[in-house]
Structure 1
């Protein structure tokens, strides 16, 4: 595909999305996120040759929220390998992202690493043996390294907002602690969790950071192997089945790409062997996923024939 073709597709989709009125609702339960302009929209596609097609608010930083869980999962697997799966499962939850019901039934083991409980368990695995600030620094440096951009930071106002209102996450963490799933002090683990969810990135930075998942674990520009091909494939598989909470099946049905959403309105999507894609529109649907982000990715996937299930 030519650069011009990709540029045109991205621009036309962004133009269409900016005219839409069915934008969803911003995440009002996190006060800082409730202030975001629902009319914002950005879309970036980075292809295998490193060409960046961008449109809309492509360079506006936003709170990546649960998209950070893709990168903490990658780090945790790099640190402890498959032992991670003793503490967290790999199955879709079929429940809201902050549900406590399954934890009680399944003795504190979260269903997957992308629901809140699972991501807290993954954070605890990364934290082990380190101070919270050291762990946060490692997560932040990893994202800066992947994107090639040292300007990426944590939005302290969003992190503080989450800590003030994160009672459900505290309940999840304490419940897992009672079963021995968490090994560090709950306050330490939650502090790191809230802060990595508050990392602010633009669509451009996020699409660049996700490139290794589109290219069998390797950054195609530098040739650096971030993870082994098998691990990249497995992370993509979990993104496909669990990346949109109890809307994951609908996303797979409509878009046909591995993806991970965040309640800040962002989605990172991967077209294996083709491109890394980031979209941001802060209005959410009933499942907590970006309303227009999914719509834009559905059009893009169909138009370019990128669904992993075929054109």
Structure 2
């Protein structure tokens, strides 16, 4: 796989030389402390090859990337019944839009915008306390990545809760339409914490292998989801991610 190794090395080298780094997110204060010079890239093949470049081993708050894993868990719990509460179409609006949610009677357009991910968190809460649901999500990601060192960044989670006024508005609005089955602050507790999971590029690449391998973990051969469901999740990531 020398071509892939060379490609990743070239990308990392180019990014290391660039001075136009943009700006880190500041709407969550703790994210504003991230070093904008950091850049990592990782690729993991189905035959077990791991190719890394740059800061690929540095953990960071994965934020909305976590929504792929919570969607996978929610579909495992209630299957296609999820689509009665969350849509499957691109939004075309900001990820935290309230206007669209009002127009569509409290049904989020897809599971990757904030409102949709809050509904998914509500689904994962069923029969659990928030701490149990959060633990289930974390263990699932640790299992997929085969890495028990993955943790939740508590400081990021606290920073999200302290400044998450728009998310509280979204949750309360959906509750008024009956699309949250638990109290908004409980669903949001799950949501804030899974967004604050800290992983490296390498760990993320390992955790996502099942989607590139027909729903199976290539390391064990065990099925995580069906091949059809893996394709559907991939399609949602392509159109709505």
* TM norm. shorter chain > 0.5: yes
Do structure 1's residue 8 and structure 2's residue 12 form an aligned pair? no
Q: How far 1:48 moved relative to its partner?
A: 1.9
Runs of 4+ in 1 over 2 A off after TM superposition: none
Name the residue aligned to 2:60: 62
Name the residue aligned to 1:305: none
Give the Cα–Cα distance (whole angstroms) in 1 for the partners of residues 177 and 95 of structure 2. 20
Counterparts of residues 156-175 of structure 1 (less than 5 Å): 156-175=154-173
Return the TM-score normalized by structure 1: 0.77
Give the Cα–Cα distance (whole angstroms) in 1 for the partners of residues 20 and 85 of structure 2. 39
Counterparts of residues 72-111 of structure 1 (less than 5 Å): 72-111=70-109
Counterparts of residues 243-254 of structure 1 (less than 5 Å): 243=241
Q: How far 1:220 moved relative to its partner?
A: 1.4
Name the residue aligned to 1:38: 36
Name the residue aligned to 2:110: 112
Q: How far 1:18 moved relative to its partner?
A: 1.3
Give the Cα–Cα distance (whole angstroms) in 2 for the partners of residues 211 and 147 of structure 1. 8
Give the Cα–Cα distance (whole angstroms) in 2 for the partners of residues 64 and 211 of structure 1. 17
Q: Which moved more, 1:78-87 or 1:12-21?
A: 12-21
Give the Cα–Cα distance (whole angstroms) in 2 for the partners of residues 49 and 7 of structure 1. 15
Query: What SS does the corresponding residue of 1:241 show, helix, strand or coil?
Result: helix
Give the Cα–Cα distance (whole angstroms) in 2 for the partners of residues 14 and 179 of structure 1. 47
Query: What SS does the corresponding residue of 2:112 show, helix, strand or coil?
Result: coil
Gap regions ≥5 residues in structure 2: none
Name the residue aligned to 1:133: 131
Query: What SS does the corresponding residue of 1:97 show, helix, strand or coil?
Result: coil
Name the residue aligned to 1:232: 230
Give the Cα–Cα distance (whole angstroms) in 2 for the partners of residues 22 and 136 of structure 1. 37
Give the Cα–Cα distance (whole angstroms) in 1 for the partners of residues 38 and 30 of structure 2. 15
Q: Alpha-carbon deviations, 1:270-298, whole Å to 9, x = none?
A: xxxxxxxxxxxxxxxxxxxxxxxxxxxxx
Q: Alpha-carbon deviations, 1:160-211, whole Å to 9, x = none?
A: 0000000000000000000000001111100010000000000000000000
Give the Cα–Cα distance (whole angstroms) in 1 for the partners of residues 19 and 48 of structure 2. 33
Counterparts of residues 286-297 of structure 1 (less than 5 Å): none
Query: What SS does the corresponding residue of 1:54 show, helix, strand or coil?
Result: strand
Gap regions ≥5 residues in structure 1: 244-311
Q: How far 1:68 moved relative to its partner?
A: 0.3
Q: How far 1:21 moved relative to its partner?
A: 2.1
Give the Cα–Cα distance (whole angstroms) in 1 for the partners of residues 126 and 173 of structure 2. 18
Name the residue aligned to 2:45: 47
Which structure has more helix as a fraction of its residues? 2
Give the Cα–Cα distance (whole angstroms) in 1 for the partners of residues 12 and 193 of structure 2. 30
Name the residue aligned to 2:208: 210
Do structure 1's residue 181 and structure 2's residue 161 form an aligned pair? no
